[in-house]
Amino acid sequence: MVKENGRSEKRVGALRAEELRRSCESGCLDFDSTAELAAPDQVFGQERAINAIAFGADIAREGYNLFVLGEPGSGKRSLVRQLLEQRAAAEPPPSDWVYVYNFAEPYKPNAIELPAGQGVRFRDALSQMVDELRTALPAIFEGEEYRVRRHAIDEKFQGRQQAAFEVLENRAMEKSIRVIRTPAGITLVPVRNNELVKPEIFEAMPEAERRQIEADIQELQRSMVQTFEQMPRLEKERRQSLRELNREFANFAVREIMDEERAAFSEISEVRDYLDMVQADIINNVQMFVQSQEMQEASELPGGAQQGGDGMAQNPLGNPFHRYEANLIVDNSQTKGAPVVDEGKPTVQQLVGRVEHIAQMGALITNFMLIKPGALHRANGGYLLIDSRALLMQPFAWETLKRALWNRETRIESPADMFSMVSTISLEPEPIPLRTKVVLFGEALTYYLLSAHDPEFQSLFKAVAEMESTVDWTPESERAFAGQLAAICRAESVRHLDPGGVALMIEQAARHAADAEKLSIHMGHIADLLREADYWAHKAGAELITAAHVQQAVDMREERIGRIREKSQESITRDIVLIDTDGARIGQINGLSVLSIGDLSFGRPTRISARIGIGAGRVLDIEREVELGGPLHSKGVLILSGFLRERFGVESPLALTASLVFEQSYGGVDGDSASSAELYCLLSAIAEVPIQQCFAVTGSVNQHGDVQAIGGVNEKIEGFFDICKARGLSGKQGVLIPSANVKHLMLRQDVVAAVREGRFHIHAIDSIDQGIEVLTGIPAESINARVAARLSAFVKVRKSADGETGERPGERQ
């Protein structure tokens, strides 16, 4: 079956047992256990994908993010992670990022970039600075020097106020009027003989005297108003003097402490600018540090109080000192190399971060300390791995990721903010520059759909890596496969395999690939089978996994998922679904199909029947007429009509009508793998030659009568074999397959044994003529002659019925 170069020979006729399954000779594996094998440098068979991944990771151009194509379980994610972690380990760790309070626009926190490891230091330094100021500032303002100077300012302005009142009182005394201070205010009362004039005495005075006193009081009241109007100005001057005094003392303490922080971060201009703003804000809001009612009164500045009030309003979570802290959202102090972040739940908030809120007294409140990072923040300067299906299933996540990649920045926003669904005021954190290489994983269908329907996709994901599903089965690939098994054993902490176990694992890989010349490198399937074989080795108390344990794992998996297959076979063996495996019938044949349900795929025979009559050359597909036939099946039936016209309708018209149907088929039918069986059935009905029911047939056919390859050949053969075995193998039963499918045969051992013993047969054919001879036992020339004769008879009857004579053959269609 297989030449030395690994390429199969073309075989026609009955196949030998040796051609039905390729074996891996364990004697060619020169080791006693896979424990002796060194771990491979990389996953074998994926050189193309590895080179593409390396290219995508290395190229530092805009838009060269990476999309990795591969079947689920192909190992693409683990391979990419392994390669990127190796690469990232040699790269420098990226910057730290912190959010700080924006003193100019409190609702828009500022982002500051710091060298790796400096974020923690900066955060802790600010916290320590606040603690020191909360201790140092009260001590300064409670000191003797401050009290003396403050007292001097107070006395100075009190003296000025008192002097203004003394001037007023002296002017009043000159006019025999006294200024009296009462709880209700200031009152002017006339005086006679150093005694206050009572109201009744005042009323008894001569009118001229009374008018003079009233005029003097009015004049003094105007002077008093002028004096009072000077009080706010004097108070303002006092407060200004206190402010300057507070600034002087506060500036001394704050500058001394903050100069240490400036020196520590002197090379980072953004930090220096921020510390300058912190210093100015602390000096303007020193009352937050000095808990003194008297100090607060003295510090109620037009600008300072308003700024402080805004600060308190922007920090409603209870601690006004939060404004001087730093929210460290990206900390790379412990990161070795560039980060490789695998995001399993790529929602909008998981990607770009979020602003959390706290419910307080029926309201949702927040501040910049509640900003939380997303995966794009954590992966900034490194690599972000995302499953494309999971990403596309999350609302707005795909558009959010594209926007971040286009703008090269990570902007924290919610879907409600993006689409203006709410009008509440919230934080608007400053965007952070994005320097992340994004890697998407998905199936080929996802990639091609995105390429076709999203015009921005290929501009953002220009690097593509596609995982191989199979490799050529060669001695080199056998050794590489064994090394990969050794690596899985170490990674999964399972028992190692002996050469026999490795050989059977290789054969199972070929069987999974459905090709005797290929090995499946579907890492998920290989690892699962290895784990299950290890389980049975453990149950048996074995030190190594042998071929028996691998076979047991295969058999038990088949048993676990085989309920539907068994029920399907039972319906046939109990004659509920009618399938003949002996005898001969005209216009009836066993076709083969494959049913796939989850991880289970199995072959199932189906009876196909044909009925013919005189007509206009139409082959009626009953499946299509009742809308159970798919487009590929309908195409196959139309090809039959082309074959009949080409072979039998050149000299005379086809006066034939025929109907084809899959008996007891209640679901959809698609694919053209039964087209050869339908043609055999149709030829049998026309020639009135019975077909041996001990055979089942698969293969598609073209208009020239060539039998073409189909899929699922192993499952189809085994499905019919199981039915025959259940009824008893007669030695006559068998399956006809296209010769092009011989290279794909990796049949079960029991099927191979039955063929070796002559109890079952598999025939490889190239043409309909070869197949019809096997099925009927009659030479193809005889069958074709009978078909031609029968069709000629149909033409004569048709012409007679139509009353037509003398027309040349082929004139009527």
Phi, psi for 612 (deg, rounded to 5): -125, 165
Q: Are 511 and 714 in contact (CB under 8 A)?
A: yes
DSSP character at residue 461: B
Residue 679, CB-side half-sphere exposure with 13 Å CA sphere: 35
How far out from the chain centre does Cα 88 lie? 21
- Distance between CA 178 and CA 193 in Å, rounded? 12
DSSP character at residue 9: P
Q: Reduce the DSSP state of residue 734 to 3 states and report it.
A: strand
Sign of CA dihedral 107, 113, 118, 119: positive
How far out from the chain centre does Cα 734 lie? 48
CB-based contacts of 10, cutoff 8 Å, min separation 6 = 739, 740, 742
Q: DSSP alpha helices (H): ranges in 382-423?
A: 388-393, 397-407, 415-418
Q: DSSP alpha helices (H): ranges in 269-368?
A: 269-284, 293-298, 304-314, 348-352
Phi, psi for 183 (deg, rounded to 5): -55, -25
Phi, psi for 96 (deg, rounded to 5): -85, 155
Q: Are 697 and 775 in contact (CB under 8 A)?
A: yes
Cite the active site residues: 673, 716
CB-based contacts of 154, cutoff 8 Å, min separation 6 = 238
Match 């002796």 to its residue by tokens: 36
CB-based contacts of 518, cutoff 8 Å, min separation 6 = 470, 471, 472, 473, 510
Element (H, E) at 476: helix 475-492
Q: Are 353 and 343 in contact (CB under 8 A)?
A: no
Q: Are 121 and 263 in contact (CB under 8 A)?
A: no
3-state secondary structure labels for all residues of 95-106: CEEEEECCCCCC
- Distance between CA 579 and CA 589 in Å, rounded? 9
- Distance between CA 783 and CA 252 in Å, rounded? 114
Q: Are 186 and 224 in contact (CB under 8 A)?
A: yes
CB-based contacts of 383, cutoff 8 Å, min separation 6 = 57, 84, 88, 338, 339, 340, 341, 436, 437, 438, 439
Of 631, 645, 764, the residue nearest 708 (C-alpha) = 764
Cα 245 to Cα 252, 279, 294: the distances in Å are: 11, 16, 14
Element (H, E) at 225: helix 207-264
Q: Reduce the DSSP state of residue 234 to 3 states and report it.
A: helix
Q: Are 42 and 50 in contact (CB under 8 A)?
A: yes
Cα 640 to Cα 85, 361, 637, 683, 691: the distances in Å are: 57, 79, 5, 10, 18
Cα 729 to Cα 371, 537, 694: the distances in Å are: 73, 34, 10
- Distance between CA 657 and CA 240 in Å, rounded? 111
Element (H, E) at 265: none
Q: Are 399 and 383 in contact (CB under 8 A)?
A: no
- Distance between CA 561 and CA 598 in Å, rounded? 9
Q: Are 620 and 659 in contact (CB under 8 A)?
A: yes
Bridge partner residues of 360 (DSSP): 363
